[in-house]
Amino acid sequence: MKRRVFLQSLTTIGIGSLAKHAQLSYGDEAPLIDKVFNVAGNGVANDRLALQKAIDAAAGRTLIITGNSRIDAAGLSLRNGSHIRFAPGASLKLLPYSEPNHQILRVWDISNVLIENAVLDGSRELSTADDNKRAQGYGMGISIAGASNVKILNPVTRGCWGDGIYVANSYSTPSKKSQEIHVVSHHAMNCRRQGVSIVSGRHIRFDDPIWEDIEGTLPSAGLDIEPNSNNDVLEDIRINNPLSRRCKVGIQIWLWALSGKLPVKIDIEISNHADFGSRDMAYRVHGLPSTCRNISGDIVVNGSNWHSAGKINSSVDGFIPQGLIVKRIN
């Protein structure tokens, strides 16, 4: 059965008979349904423990999220081989919280993950965390750290206290990079810090994302590519057809912290970026300390359609070493 037909069937057949109608996604085993694990999905009950049990049991199989589940800010950890599919109308929304550092879905130190049609609500309107305008932006929709072979299709991340999607090195083993991450048609709205942050990674691709109304704490960018240290990498980063609207900055690349003893070669290409109404500018590259000489590579914008609300559409500032080429091709 084709995927679209399968998803439509969720609303027309009973949960009990769903598995025998569904396409098989992993191996030869039928998908598992969240209701089997006593997930209420009623928009009121805290389903975190039941959902975590379902995720653990479904590793290597497809798990179908069928309702409107609420979870607390402890969040959910995916497993090796997790395949999570949200049925039409299904969602995860955080219950009220005070902890500024959290993740709705963690994809940490695992591989072979597929997430389809996720709708994640960070409930920033329910947060009692300190609303620091320059910090405390670490409440993530999907946090990817030290993971590989991850595909995310059609995710919606709204109202996150920090970023819609965050990509970085492993927290437990910092030398382990995130790699082979592919996100298709991400829609981030009303997130407090970023639509997406890419801190470090190899072979990272975003196709056709929309990032809009990002505001609350710095930098408030649709996409922020910003390493935290000289241990980070930015290799084969491809952003295709991004649309940013009413952010502080549409796309920002902030390289300052990448400086250090290790040589780093950057490879970033952004194709067909459109920006409408970003308050400061559509696109910004901020360079490195003037003593830095071992950062090289290419940062390329291929095609752009920029209509920011600021005085300028783009800026390249700070020190750019001779070996680092920053260019715009229209």
Structure tokens at 14: 């009973």
The predicted structure's pLDDT at residue 28 = 52
CATH topology of domain 69-81+95-329: Pectate Lyase C-like (2.160.20)
* pLDDT for residue 21: 33
Alpha carbons 32 and 311: distance in angstroms, whole number:
53
pLDDT, one tens digit per residue, over 282-300 is 999 999 999 999 999 999 9
pLDDT reading at 9 higher than 70: no
* Distance separating alpha carbons of residues 73 and 58, to the nearest angstrom: 22
pLDDT at 8 over 70: no
Alpha-carbon gap, residue 206 to 247, rounded angstroms: 18
Give percent above pLDDT 70 in the chain: 92
Does the pTM of the predicted model rise above 0.85? yes
Q: Which residues are CB-contacts of 168 (< 8 A; sequence separation ≥ 6)?
A: 144, 145, 178, 197, 199, 200, 201, 228, 232
Residue 11 has pLDDT above 80, yes or no: no
Examine the pLDDT at 20 and tell me if it is beyond 90.
Answer: no
Helices (H) and strands (E) in the chain, counts: 3, 28
- For 96, residues 6+ apart whose C-beta sits below 8 A from its C-beta are 123, 126, 127, 128
- pLDDT at residue number 330: 83
Residue extents of the structural domains in the chain? 69-81+95-329
Cα–Cα distance, 179 to 96 (Å, whole number): 33
3-state SS, residue 106: strand
Over residues 260-274, the pLDDT tens digits come to 999 999 999 999 999
Span of 5-9, 229-233, 280-284 with lowest mean pLDDT? 5-9
